[in-house]
Amino acid sequence: MPNPPLVAILAYDGLCTFEFGCAVEVFGQSRPEMGPNWYRCVTVAVEDGPLRGLGGVRIEADGGLELLATATTIIAPGWRNPLDQVPPSLVEALKSARDRGARLVGICAGAFVLGATGVLHGRRATTHWFHLERLAALWPDTQVVTDVLYVDEGSVLTSAGSAAGLDLCLHLVRCDFGAKAANQVARRLVLSAHREGGQAQFIERPVPVKAGARLAAFLDGVRPRLSEIWTIERMAEEAGISVTGLHRHLRAATGMAPGAWLVAERVRHACELLEDTNLSVEAVARASGFREAVNLRKHFRKTVGLSPTSYRARFDAKVRT
């Protein structure tokens, strides 16, 4: 990248500080280890006057809407109230940014900011589950997706609830700099493995308990050996617990049954191989533990929403599939 991409994060009175913090943490932190082409980041005041965030935080932005003129990505981190009017000056600035090819991102209720510009027309979008019906009512020509963490429509991206904004931000890093960079940022943030956008907003236990040391060590031990055959019985034996105990502890720690967790890890590993190697789809299937390409394609499409070939093409159209 000859010119580091410029990310502009909107700030407004009544700012949703968590969503704002997610975007700033991913794109605003100095990361010299990423090299000179890493993101530049600015905060943009969308209105005059003192800007206050939830919790009494006061925001001193880097500038006003003029900063959007050169931004490659613009992030709306929530919105103070889905029914509050989006300032006309902001709507016009976002429309101009869209027309010149900028990427527009809405975190949580930030989808309502994008909706006011018309960019959701005919597109898929999501938001926090609490606001889904309202989003659909305001913009009936938008295909509101109710059961995902985020939606990538190319130049327009939206996320579900607040924490899903981190998943979407890391997805942007993956798209721009690859899986290794995104994983490195995730480690800095002490986040768990990457979650694909198609993952449901809900799990049986929304706030999982911390995995015990033995279970955590077992999971870490499986990840480098995903290509091996893992029956539930073998998993339980290596974890040193019964099959029933494995189901109970793994579901408590991750929200998933052992088989679902294994498939999710294999899909994640397949994503990395498709992004970073020249391996054929058949070879990726073997290396990630799916054994055959047909199995990889089945689980990959169900989880990611794309075929392995289409997924790879989004990162490098020149890589042999």
Lowest-confidence pick of 4-13, 29-38, 160-169, 199-208:
199-208
DSSP string, 165-203: HHHHHHHHHHHHH-HHHHHHHHHHTT--S---TTS-S--
Q: Which of 76 and 164 is assigned the larger pLDDT? A: 76
* Residues of the chain above pLDDT 70, percent: 90
Q: Who's near 17: CB < 8 A, 6+ residues apart? A: 53, 54, 55, 57
CA dist 219 and 250 (Å) reads 9
User: Can you give the pLDDT at residue 320?
Assistant: 35
Given a cut of 80, whether residue 226 has pLDDT beyond it is: yes
- Fold identical between 6-188 and 208-321? no
User: Can you give the pLDDT at residue 184?
Assistant: 86
Find, among 90, 193, 108, the residue nearest to 150 by Cα.
108
User: Can you give the pLDDT at residue 195?
Assistant: 60
The mean pLDDT value of the chain amounts to 88
156-159 and 150-152 strand pairing: antiparallel
What's CA 8's distance to the chain center, in Å? 17
Amino acid residing at 64: G
Q: How many CA atoms lie within 13 A of 80 on its CB side?
A: 15
Q: Which of 143 and 255 is assigned the larger pLDDT? A: 143
User: DSSP class of residue 86?
Assistant: P
Lowest-confidence pick of 96-100, 190-194, 250-254, 266-270:
190-194
Considering only the top CATH level, what class is 208-321?
mainly alpha
CA dist 149 and 143 (Å) reads 15
Gap between the terminal Cα atoms of the chain: 25
Please report which residue ranges of the chain form alpha helices under DSSP H.
Answer: 17-27, 88-99, 110-117, 132-138, 164-177, 179-188, 213-222, 232-239, 243-254, 258-276, 281-288, 293-304, 308-315
The full set of domain ranges for the chain reads 6-188, 208-321
User: What Rg do the C-alpha atoms of the chain give, in angstroms?
Assistant: 21
Helix (H, G, I), strand (E, B) or coil at 288: helix
Given a cut of 60, whether residue 200 has pLDDT beyond it is: no
Highest mean pLDDT (candidates 203-212, 219-228, 298-307): 219-228
Lowest-confidence pick of 126-130, 155-159, 168-172, 309-313:
309-313
What dotted CATH number matches 6-188?
3.40.50.880
Instruction: Quick: pLDDT tens for 245-272.
Output: 999 888 887 778 999 999 989 998 998 8
pTM greater than the 0.85 cutoff? no
Instruction: Quick: pLDDT tens for 12-33.
Output: 999 999 999 999 999 999 898 8
Residue 150 belongs to what H/E stretch?
strand 150-152
CA dist 321 and 315 (Å) reads 12
Give the confidence band of 304 by pLDDT, cuts at 50, 70, 90: confident
Kindly state the average pLDDT of the residues 305-312: 85
Give the confidence band of 305 by pLDDT, cuts at 50, 70, 90: confident
